[in-house]
Structure 1
Amino acid sequence: MKTQVGIIGAGPAGLMLAHLLHRRGIESIVLEHRSRRDIEETIRAGVLEQGTVDLMQELGLADRLLAQGQPHHGFELRFGGVSHRVNMSELTGGKHVTVYAQHEVIKDLVGACERRGIPMYFEVSQVSLERVETDPVIRFVRCGDEAPSALHCDFIAGCDGFHGPSRQSIPSQLRTEYRKEYPIGWLGILTQAPPSNAELIYSGHERGFALISTRSPDIQRMYLQVDATDHIDGWSDERIWSELHARLEGTDGFRLTEGPIIQKNIVPMRSFVCDPMQYGRLFLAGDSAHIVPPTGAKGLNLAVSDARVLAEGMVHFYQTNSRALLEDYTDICLRRVWKAQRFSNLMTSMLHRFADHTDYDRKLQLAELGYLTSSSAGITTLAENYVGLPIEWGSLTECAT
């Protein structure tokens, strides 16, 4: 089996890369260890930056997104019992974000791959990478087969997440991994209820963080900060609603709308960056190279950004036989990644309560929130980061199309 680009992982990075390459006539094959049903039904957050929405429209992938996604022109920071609106569109020249769940994005991308004839293999196992420096080969076992298959390719895109094999194929002595484990988790629920608010609410309360989001007119997504060691069995529906009400209480008349909880789970919080994101003819993208706390809503958008940069580098290579843009892939991506890490860390540290926090720390949080929401420079910074910073192509701008 042979192709130009072997893509490991059918997440946002891998699938978007497949479409970007297909548009320019470059062949790829996507390998995924999970089933199609699994990747299409795993509930994940979904705040899409303006650039992500624009790219999906450009690629002809946005029909359902435009019909079902919910454009948000602002969001609210809530503290001291009062909400403060960040008017993103006004502060960024009309830019906004769109709330559209990640599993819906995956459905759109997988369905379009199927229609366009982009090969995908689900439920593959025993994936390994060989000769990534010179002549890449991906070995794997297809679902239902006993004998392994070999995929020969010009390049490998490792889009297989934090636990996938791609990153491990970069020699450990050549890569630096930056990690931060947070002593907290997010308890997320889906509830059958009308929206409590027209836009997202980020609440920084003395009892901990809470987030009010939405999925549809009838299904809402909400989150609570919990201890990293908590188990979901310890959180009854009654306890969840009680805590949400406590963290959103205030003097401005806001009321949380309850409904039946149809799903709940706890996810850990971590930050991670791998440098470099490439080795030989192997390139990492998405969660295999970096993870950010969900507070900044950047994970999916960074994956799409990686795919765009990588696709431009590969197109440039096949058109000119030059690897100039590919050689700068890590530098271009990490400039944006580290700024997203900064913003996500700011939102996380500013809105969450930690076990070692003192009254002094809480006063600093409130001062930071007060400054950012009352200063034109501060609130513009929040808006610019939330709608998404541009890719910095550096001296190779002319290579990007």
Structure 2
Amino acid sequence: MDIFFSRFSVVLLVLISWNSFTTTEAYDALDPNGNITIKWDIKSWTPDGYMAVVTIFNFQQYRHIEAPGWQLGWSWRKKEVIWNMVGAQATDQGDCSKFKGNMPHCCKKTPTVVDLLPGTPYNQQISNCCRGGVISSWAQDPATAISSFQIFVGQSGTTNTTVRAPRNITLKAPGPGYTCGPAQHVPSTKFMSPDNRRKTQALLTWNITCTYSQFLARKTPTCCVSLSSFYNETIIPCPTCSCGCQNSSLAGSCVDPKIASVVPALGKNNLEPLLQCTNHMCPIRIHWHVKTNYKEYWRVKVAITNFNYNMNYSQWNLVVQHPNFDNITQLFSFNYNPLNPYADINDTAMLWGIKFYNDMLSQAGPLGNVQSELLFRKNPSKFTFEKGWAFPRRIYFNGDNCVMPPPDAYPWLPNGTPNLETSPFIILLITFISVLILM
């Protein structure tokens, strides 16, 4: 009996540890300080409430909010109503039947707010609004990593001691994945006048911090990686069922590419995927091909393919971890930014498309791919083609960790082949000459 309870305790401890691990997935080792911070700045009091500016800051280095954009929700603590909004709108007015004459913008106890679309009339805009809820990642473009709106709240209290912060804050961006903490009273935000000559500050400021978890966002991965090289004819595909299997409901619907043109899509940027039928069933595949070997350099081709007929990936980005990124020399048709969460290690790069050229990864089909080539300088103390060293350690697409092939499946050098020092053309030429001599 004692042995039984001892074993049961061990199993219980393992289960508790596993559960704890899954809930800590919000921590990202490549972006340890990344989060979305929502600032709620009360700037003036009104006869029955206040006017506030709410600002969403995306401090995540490479995870952005794409179309159809963010949705922000909360619960009022008292009987608050929203009299008016500038730069955003509530999705549902709710029951405002008790009001006569001037109707509130929203009377719901739990409002949901969305950004306005580009082209909104100027008198309904404020700074950093009206991009359809799309927010860039901080490393891609800090200027557009912010979204703001103005809100006029009534029946809320008109002093610092009578007003209450909203609670149960939720952020969908555009789907689930973010968990928001409670509103915290922080030192009041300071503002500069447009001419930078006068400084003012908010009457009261609350901060809400939201963190992302891929585990909470979706039940299956969203991307996978395939590999190939010039020195091995084997192409390593994405692992089978990387993002689900064709017979599984978790993978979503799929169609044969031969008949895809006659299958109506559900609409652009629809959260329900309609995938091209593949063995991996991932919306996105990244292919890393070791293309060429020179005396002092080596070259890689990276291709990203969209298998989702329902999604255009705007402002997409790729994060790649490889030890030779400290010696990257040239990049073609992608932007590049090093990510150094730990100052003494420079092995992680963020890649994204050039604006108005290939920053949109189109829906599945002939245009559903983007590609680039990377040129690296060899570091004699590190460089080798042996044991799969030339392939990435980790790849993220739009902030989600992609499924990699197992390391023992990587395209290795043929047995007995020394580390290559010349181009494959020279090697083939030498081989051909040797055959002629033997004949």
TM surpasses 0.5: no
**Which TM class, normalised by the smaller chain length?**
under 0.3
Higher relative contact order (CA 8 A, sep 6+): 1
Which has more radius of gyration? Answer: 2
Q: TM-score, normalised by structure 1?
A: 0.24
> Which structure shows the higher helix fraction?
1
**Greater strand fraction, Structure 1 or Structure 2:** 2
Alignment TM-score, normalising by the size of structure 2: 0.22
